[in-house]
A and B are shown apart, each in its own frame.
Chain A
Amino acid sequence: MTDLVILAIAAGVIVDVWLASYVFLHLRRRYVRAAFIVLALDAAVAAAAFVGLDRSIGLLGPEWNAVGLWTFGLSHPLMALYVLLSIHGAAALRRHPYGLALFAPIPLLAILGPSQGVTVAIAYQTNWLSSYLVICLALALAEAIAWWRTTELHAAEAFGLVLAATVAIISGPVYSFELQFLNISAGQGANPGMPLVLALFGFVALRANALPLPTPTAATASGGRFPAGQIAVLDEARPKYASLLAERAASAGQPTMVFGRGPTPARTGLALEVSPTQHGPARVAATVREFAYQYPGGLVVLRDLGDISAAAGSDAALELAAEARGLARTAQIGLLVSLWGLTDEERASMTRRIGPAIKMPRPEEEIKAILSRALGSAADRILEGYAATKGVRTVDLTPADVPAIVDHLRSTLAELARVLDDEPVVLGWRKEVDRIGLELDRFSRLSFEELARGPWPSSALKGTQEEYLVRAADYWKGKDLEEALRSAQARTASLELGERVRRLFLESLGPAGSHLFEMELKRLRKSVRDLSVTDIRAIAEGTKRSAGDLAGAIDVASGRSELEARARHLRERLLELTGGTE
């Protein structure tokens, strides 16, 4: 029996060291990792001393009693500290200074213990020492339970801590009292459950591990930094300004982290994609914490809080934002919270808890307002034409599209002027496009403060400003500008459209797709430049027939069905290009 107990505790030493190494290599939460490693190594030394001091082993002399007692005692406040750090992060000792006070008796333990005849074997039987050790474990358990009762975001993590603290109490003092009750000396003074406690601690910590923090990008622009310690809640329909402000800050060299699903701003060095799974939210919270410690003065952008709400509930999303808000204040990081994707109720809770929402403009409407001032109702057509060539919707337009919109406008109006072939008109158009370009550029460069303060172009242009003496539309000499734009845009856009169709053929059918596309063009007697939306519908139908003919020529059933599937997919994508309906 004694040999088996000693063997089990010796095996525990190996497990403790292995866990310390594993956590050292994999856990990205610095404070929790440090506390875990210290705890695990302390537990390993305590267990090794226990084994070495055992009479049947006789590896260590009685002078090692003090080491055994000290490390055994130290593991108790370390456990409480570990729980506090897991819950509160670096702020643990500031919020709960008693965490440090727990360590005060430890030096005394090393001095007084041996002189009072206290050994590790009777640690739990010595009144003053036993009380201290049990208080440490009880505090760990109480903190874990209190957290479990209040948190939605960290519920699984908190439960793991409760379980680990319970195991520590059962395998520590309870087990010791049991052995004492039975008058069994083997195993007295060891905590055989320590490897299990550490495994539980490690398991829950790794499940809520921080995401890897990439290196921030170097500054490529001046200005655009978001003020440290400032918190802003953005009221926007889509997360356009959350992304834009993040991109600006990153370009200005400010460490910036965007939490969101799917594509994050290209230039943002620290953009992270958050998986919308059950552990995603807890990992986001851990990452925000790590980011704040590592990059004080950086910017955290909670772009897709709706996903957190979907994955862990509204309360968890709110808790995450509140945690980030606390960190923004203590670690002096900037915080941007986008309200897009949240329900009205969630938006109201968020603004109550985090701060008042700042209404952001809709870029597509502001761009349209600027264009409308010069082009009247033709502004719609310009924007639609631009969106069609880019394969996006007008609601997807952002201030980042402004340079390309100006280019599109320039080429479209140049096409118009070429048709007119009138030098003064061409000159007038150019000046007009330059003026529109300047206004659009000014809008796209509005700082966060200017955007928040307003007014935006859409409201500023509503009759409050002086009207242009000559509008761009006036240059077209009384003809229907919209109609003219339609034909000019058709010419400039059709080439891009044709090339997109060719790309779809290539993507869906490989090199054979190019030949099939050429066949379709021949059938329609058109060139790539002349393709219209109606033609694409005809091509989609033609593709169905041609692919059917090709498939009929394939003997292998699997090859035939694959070709049919690819052709079906191509047809669907072509129809999407024409408006998404059949």
Chain B
Amino acid sequence: MSPSWRTALIRSGLVFLISLVLVVGFWFHREFYQIGLYPLMAIGGFVTFLVIIATSWVLSGGLPARRAKTDLVVSPAEGESIARRETSTLVAPAAESVPRPGMTVRVVTETGASYGTARVVSAFRTLLEDLALDDIRDAGHANVKAFRAMWESSRRWKSEEPVTVLRLMRIGGKAG
């Protein structure tokens, strides 16, 4: 079983357990909740909603609603590559705001074209000229020269500029 499946299974199991606890709670409190169906639906529904949101927050380390709003802006080529699962790494200047590990992001271009969602698995810093060749290849570039050409197409190459290396895991969609 893959780690993502196992994680999904454990999380679903926990949410199911909490759902059971809520149902049991309502059963034990049936006398107290004799306040009519509609008020119970409104109050009980709201409480259940809060519990599920909080559980989700604790399990994932961030509010789902906030995470869903996070966009990871990439070039069209990078977006295509991520969508096809050919790219699992992104390199961005450290000064730029990037999503953090654990976040689920929408992969989009500056024009708004979407390439699905991905989860940020980890992030670390290095210097531009210290990037490992493996990271450059994982970012979809054949070699340092190709990476540098791509970098210089939009920014100045400063060899000792700190950069953030993001490792991504594509969520959903089909492998290309």
Query: Chain B contacts of A312 at CB under 8 A?
Result: 100
Are B160 and A237 in contact (CB-based, < 8 A)? Answer: yes
Q: A277-B122, A278-B100, A581-B143 are in contact. Are A163 and B58 (CB under 8 A)?
A: yes
Is A182 interfacial (CB 8 A cutoff)?
yes
Q: Report how far A343 CA is from B92 CA in the complex, Å.
A: 12
How far, in Å, is A177 (CB) from chain B's closest CB? 11
Are B123 and A311 in contact (CB-based, < 8 A)? Answer: yes
Is A345 interfacial (CB 8 A cutoff)?
yes
Is A514 interfacial (CB 8 A cutoff)?
no
Q: A182-B31, A277-B102 are in contact. Are A580 and B123 (CB under 8 A)?
A: no
B 142-170 binary contact with A (CB < 8 Å = 1; else 0): 11110000000000000010101100000
Are A342 and B31 in contact (CB-based, < 8 A)? Answer: no
Are B100 and A311 in contact (CB-based, < 8 A)? Answer: yes
Are A307 and B162 in contact (CB-based, < 8 A)? Answer: no
Q: Which of B74-102 contact A (CB under 8 A)?
A: 94-95, 98, 100-102
Is B16 interfacial (CB 8 A cutoff)?
no
B 109-144 binary contact with A (CB < 8 Å = 1; else 0): 000000000000111111101100100000000111
Query: Chain A contacts of B29 at CB under 8 A?
Result: 178
- Which residue from B101, B121, B126 sits with its C-beta under 8 Å from A341? B126
A 177-191 binary contact with B (CB < 8 Å = 1; else 0): 010011010000000
- Which residue from A163, A310, A344 sits with its C-beta under 8 Å from B124? A310
Q: Which of A160-193 contact B (CB under 8 A)?
A: 160, 163, 178, 181-182, 184
Q: A182-B31, A341-B127 are in contact. Are A277 and B58 (CB under 8 A)?
A: no
Query: Chain B contacts of A309 at CB under 8 A?
Result: 94, 125
Are B125 and A307 in contact (CB-based, < 8 A)? Answer: yes
Q: Which of A416-435 contact B (CB under 8 A)?
A: none
Are B54 and A341 in contact (CB-based, < 8 A)? Answer: no
Our count of residue pairs bridging A and B at CB distance below 8 angstroms stands at: 92
- Which residue from A279, A280, A345 sits with its C-beta under 8 Å from B95? A345
How far, in Å, is B51 (CB) from chain A's closest CB? 10
Is B28 interfacial (CB 8 A cutoff)?
yes
Query: Chain B contacts of A280 at CB under 8 A?
Result: 101
Are A278 and B31 in contact (CB-based, < 8 A)? Answer: no
- Which residue from B61, B98, B143, B164 sits with its C-beta under 8 Å from A580? B143
- Which residue from B32, B94, B102, B133 sits with its C-beta under 8 Å from A310? B94
Q: A159-B57, A203-B58, A306-B94 are in contact. Are A278 and B101 (CB under 8 A)?
A: yes
Is A266 interfacial (CB 8 A cutoff)?
no
Are A304 and B101 in contact (CB-based, < 8 A)? Answer: no
Are B144 and A581 in contact (CB-based, < 8 A)? Answer: yes
Query: Chain B contacts of A182 at CB under 8 A?
Result: 31-32
Closest B-chain residue to A275, C-beta based? B122
Is A108 interfacial (CB 8 A cutoff)?
no
Are B54 and A276 in contact (CB-based, < 8 A)? Answer: no
Q: Report how far A343 CA is from B130 CA in the complex, Å.
A: 16
Query: Chain B contacts of A278 at CB under 8 A?
Result: 61, 100-102
Q: Report how far A395 CA is from B95 CA in the complex, Å.
A: 23
Q: Which of B42-59 contact A (CB under 8 A)?
A: 54, 57-58
- Which residue from A277, A343, A345 sits with its C-beta under 8 Å from B101? A277
Highest count of chain B CB atoms <10 Å: which of A1, A204, A306: A306
Are A341 and B125 in contact (CB-based, < 8 A)? Answer: yes
A 281-312 binary contact with B (CB < 8 Å = 1; else 0): 00000000000000000000000101101111
Q: Report how far A237 CA is from B129 CA in the complex, Å.
A: 12
Q: Report how far A278 CA is from B100 CA in the complex, Å.
A: 7
Are B124 and A311 in contact (CB-based, < 8 A)? Answer: yes
Are A582 and B123 in contact (CB-based, < 8 A)? Answer: no
Query: Chain A contacts of B101 at CB under 8 A?
Result: 276-278, 280, 311
Q: Report how far A580 CA is from B143 CA in the complex, Å.
A: 7
Closest B-chain residue to A160, C-beta based? B58
Are A276 and B123 in contact (CB-based, < 8 A)? Answer: yes
Are B102 and A580 in contact (CB-based, < 8 A)? Answer: no
Q: Report how far A1 CA is from B28 CA in the complex, Å.
A: 8
Q: Report how far A280 CA is from B125 CA in the complex, Å.
A: 14
Q: Report how far A278 CA is from B166 CA in the complex, Å.
A: 12
Query: Chain B contacts of A576 at CB under 8 A?
Result: 133
22 residue pairs A–B, Cβ–Cβ below 8 Å? A159-B58, A163-B54, A184-B31, A279-B61, A306-B124, A306-B125, A307-B123, A310-B94, A310-B124, A311-B123, A313-B100, A341-B94, A341-B127, A342-B94, A342-B162, A343-B95, A345-B95, A576-B133, A580-B143, A580-B145, A581-B143, A582-B145
Q: Using a CB–CB distance below 8 Å, which chain A residues touch chain B?
A: 1, 4-5, 156, 159-160, 163, 178, 181-182, 184, 200, 203-204, 237-238, 261, 275-280, 304, 306-307, 309-313, 340-345, 395, 576, 580-582
Q: Using a CB–CB distance below 8 Å, which chain B residues touch chain A?
A: 28-29, 31-32, 54, 57-58, 61, 94-95, 98, 100-102, 121-127, 129-130, 133, 142-145, 160, 162, 164-165
* Contacts beyond the supplied A310-B98, A580-B133: 17 A-B pairs with Cβ under 8 Å: A4-B28, A181-B32, A182-B32, A276-B122, A278-B61, A279-B61, A304-B125, A307-B123, A310-B124, A310-B165, A311-B101, A342-B125, A343-B162, A395-B129, A581-B143, A581-B144, A582-B143
